[in-house]
Amino acid sequence: MEHDTHPAVRNKTFISVWAILVALTMASVGASSVHAGTASLLVPLLIATVKASLVLWFFMHLKYERALFKVMLLFPLGTLAVIMGLTFVDTWFR
């Protein structure tokens, strides 16, 4: 049977990632209480993207996977970015 080449991820790594995720969640709550127009929209979404990347990279083991998995993920994300981009070009400039 084929196995992962890397050893099991240490518990300490996962617990640290979890602590950072909780801290970022609190930071996004704090940031949203400051009413600063567009920034109060963008900052929580940027924080969410950092959190999502941490989940993908550590919890979903992407860090430890071969390049194939990392490249594969770029396809749905790229597709989504293109669809979002083109739709907004239409929404803004119609």
Partner 1 sequence: MSTSVASHHSDYTGAKIGMWLFLFTEILLFGGLFLLYAVYRAKSPAEFHEATKHLHLALGLSNTLILLTSSLTAALSVSAIRRGQKYWALWGIGVTVVLALAFLVNKYFEWKEHIGNGMFPGSPALTSLSHGENLFFGLYYTMTGLHGVHVLAGAALLCVVYVFVNREKVNQHSYSLLENACLFWHLVDLIWIYLFPLFYLVT
Asked whether the beta carbons of 56 and 73 are under 8 A apart, the reply is yes
Distance between CA atoms of residues 87 and 89, nearest Å: 5
**Which amino acid is it at 62?**
L
* 91 contributes a contact to partner 1 by CB under 8 A: yes
Q: Does 63 bind partner 1 (CB under 8 A)?
A: no
Q: Applying CB under 8 A, does 14 fall inside the site for partner 1?
A: yes
Residue 1: C-alpha distances to residues 4, 6, 42, 48 (Å): 10, 15, 46, 38
Q: Please tell me whether residue 75 binds partner 1 under the rule CB under 8 A.
A: yes
Q: Name the residues that contact partner 1, by CB under 8 A.
A: 1-4, 7-11, 14-15, 17-18, 21-22, 25, 28-29, 32, 35, 40-41, 44-45, 47-48, 51-52, 55-56, 58-61, 68-69, 72-73, 75-77, 79-80, 83-84, 87-88, 91-92
